[in-house]
Amino acid sequence: MRPLRILAAAAATAVAAAALAAVASAPPAAAAGFAQVGNFGSNPGNLAMYEYVPPALSPSPAVVVAMHGCTQTATAYYQNSGWPKYADRHGFVVVFPEQRTANNSNRCFNWFQPGDATRDQGEALSIRQMVGSAVSRHGGGRVFVTGLSAGGAMTAVLLAQYPDLFAGGSVVAGLPAGCATDVASAFTCMNPGVDRTPAQWAQAVRAGGRPRVAIWHGTSDTTVVPRNADELRDQWTAVHGISTTPTSTGSLPGPTRRETYGSGQVQVYRVQGMGHGTPVDPGGATDQCGATAAYFLDFVCSSYHTAVFWGLTGGSTPTPTATPTSPPPAGATCHEGRTTSMCRPAGPPPATGTSTRSGRGRRWASTTPGSGTPCGSRRPATTRSPTPAAPDPRLADGIAPRVTSRPPE
């Protein structure tokens, strides 16, 4: 009997040791709150990762990636965007990537550099690794991405390069994926914008998934002109194979016009009178969020309506007073074979303004063309003055500034 007891004791000791080893090797549970995360991957884009973990996580919590604009930081987006409020209420994780000045002197994500805007390369891969880290440590489920300005442009890039990863996206004052490949073309995309057919835009999106996409834009944005919201709509309705004519329209606070395409695969939110920034609406109501600051503008809580659109709040998308829209007349066309629904309406252009842009040591002035041109006509060419104009403070968040070389990996 004594040998049997010795064997039993040895077996019990081995089981206990194995259990302790398993506990030691398991990733530690992240503490609730906002904190920087290190060692999330090889990080070829040299970005920093921050995340917000609510006090109580839901089972298989969603992971939302929220990216700041130029001159901003992850902390600023955490403090002002309103996303932590809904993470607390609905138990999802928010990842806040942060650009470094070593990569871009104005902290802009390099959405216009092919080495950072291609699947499994540079900054795009770094953000993909952040997602993998968050999902692994928190047992995450569905993944979404949003961002402002350069962060909005990078949002479109990530949706296009990883449609198999992201269930949905929200582009705030951003641009279509594939619009630019260098600094000069980035400025053209920003203002006056680039016009392509829906099919041409769709070619920039990889096969593998069809994420739901929300598009937010201020109608008075002179940094990234509202035309980009139309081109984003064209891109993602083409990806989903649906019409560029909205199936319904409605009104939200702000005032904001909401356009729904298809059965809700794409929604466009046009915030009337808003310039360049993320729309917020400070307050304690369910649909109020955020704080006003530079490029956080008091109109409507975009984070709440985006969370609802993605299905993160546990309910269905609220339906504002809807107005069904009529399809264009049969056979009506514009240039490049587009239907009239794909053209911008005619009307008197707004007052033009002069702005100063800089990139890689160059400075030039350009006159912003009017946003309303007759269907079938081209926009007037942007004129450049040889004499630099005074800096325009509205362009402090210009999303394609001088790029500094990334240090060796």
Tens digit of pLDDT for each residue in 86-99?
999 999 999 999 99
Better-predicted residue by pLDDT, 13 or 301: 301
Least reliable range by pLDDT among 90-94, 350-354, 378-382: 350-354
Inter-CA distances, 176 with 190, 191, 199, 215, 234, Å:
10, 13, 13, 10, 9
**Is 397 in contact with 276 (CB distance < 8 Å)?**
yes
Check 81, 126, 133, 149 and give the catalytic one: 149
Whole-number Cα distances in Å, 12 to 25, 125, 164, 199:
20, 45, 46, 66
pLDDT of 11 over the 60 cut: no
What's the alpha-carbon Rg for the chain, to the nearest Å? 23
Say what the pLDDT of residue 63 is.
98
Tell me the average pLDDT across 287-311. Answer: 98
Task: Dump pLDDT digits (tens) for 114-139.
Answer: 999 999 999 999 999 999 999 999 99
Strands of the sheet containing 362-367, edge to edge, are: 354-359, 362-367, 384-385
Q: What is the pLDDT of residue 323?
A: 40
What's the Cα-to-Cα distance from 194 to each of 76, 188, 190, 226, 232, rounded to whole Å?
30, 7, 8, 11, 11
Q: How confident is the model at residue 23 (pLDDT cuts 50, 70, 90)?
A: very low
Name the more confident of 360 and 128: 128
- Is the pTM higher than 0.85? The answer reads no
Is the bond leading into 192 cis (omega within 30 degrees of zero)? yes
**Cβ(130)–Cβ(166) under 8 Å?**
no
Residue 252's alpha-carbon distances to 256, 269, 276, 305, in angstroms, are 5, 9, 19, 9
Q: Which residues contact 99 (CB under 8 A, 6 or more apart)?
A: 47, 68, 107, 108, 109, 123, 150
Mean pLDDT throughout 324-331?
Answer: 40
Closest to 239 (Cα-Cα) out of 219, 212, 218: 212
Question: Dihedrals φ, ψ of 212, to 5°?
Answer: -75, 140
Mean pLDDT of 216-234: 98
Q: What pLDDT, on a 0 to 100 scale, did the predictor assign at position 32?
A: 83
First to last CA, the chain: 63
DSSP state string for 334-379: -GGG-BGGGSPPP-PPPPP-EEEEEETTEEEEEEPPPS---TT-PP
CB atoms within 10 A of CB 30: 15
How far apart are the C-alpha atoms of 58 and 141, rounded to whole Å?
10
The confidence score (pLDDT) of residue 314 equals 87
**Third-level CATH fold of 33-342:** Rossmann fold (3.40.50)
The answer to whether residue 13 scores a pLDDT higher than 60 is: no
| Catalytic residue check, 149 | yes
Which pLDDT band holds residue 16 (cuts at 50, 70, 90)? very low
Per the prediction, the chain carries an average pLDDT of 79
HSE-CB for 98 with a 13 A CA cutoff:
18
Q: Is 267 helix (H, G, I), strand (E, B) or coil?
A: strand
Percent of the chain predicted with pLDDT > 90: 69
Please confirm whether the linkage preceding 176 is cis (ω < 30° from 0): no
Q: What is the DSSP string of 52-76?
A: EE-SSPPSS--EEEEE--TT--HHH
More confident residue, 14 or 174: 174
At 295 the three-state DSSP class reads coil
Contact yes or no for 313/64 (Cβ under 8 A)? no
Instruction: Show the tokens assigned to 40.
Output: 């999330």
- Percent share of the chain, pLDDT over 70: 69
Whole-number pLDDT of residue 30 = 56
**For residues 209, 251, 67 and 403, what is the CA-based torsion angle, rounded to 10 degrees?**
100
pLDDT digits (tens, 9 = 90+) for 235-246: 999 999 999 999
The residue among 275 and 356 whose pLDDT is bigger is 275
pLDDT tier at 315, thresholds 50, 70, 90: low
Instruction: Kindly report, residue by residue over 26-77, the tens digit of the pLDDT.
Output: 344 456 899 999 999 999 999 999 999 999 999 999 999 999 999 999 999 9
300 vs 371: which has the higher pLDDT:
300
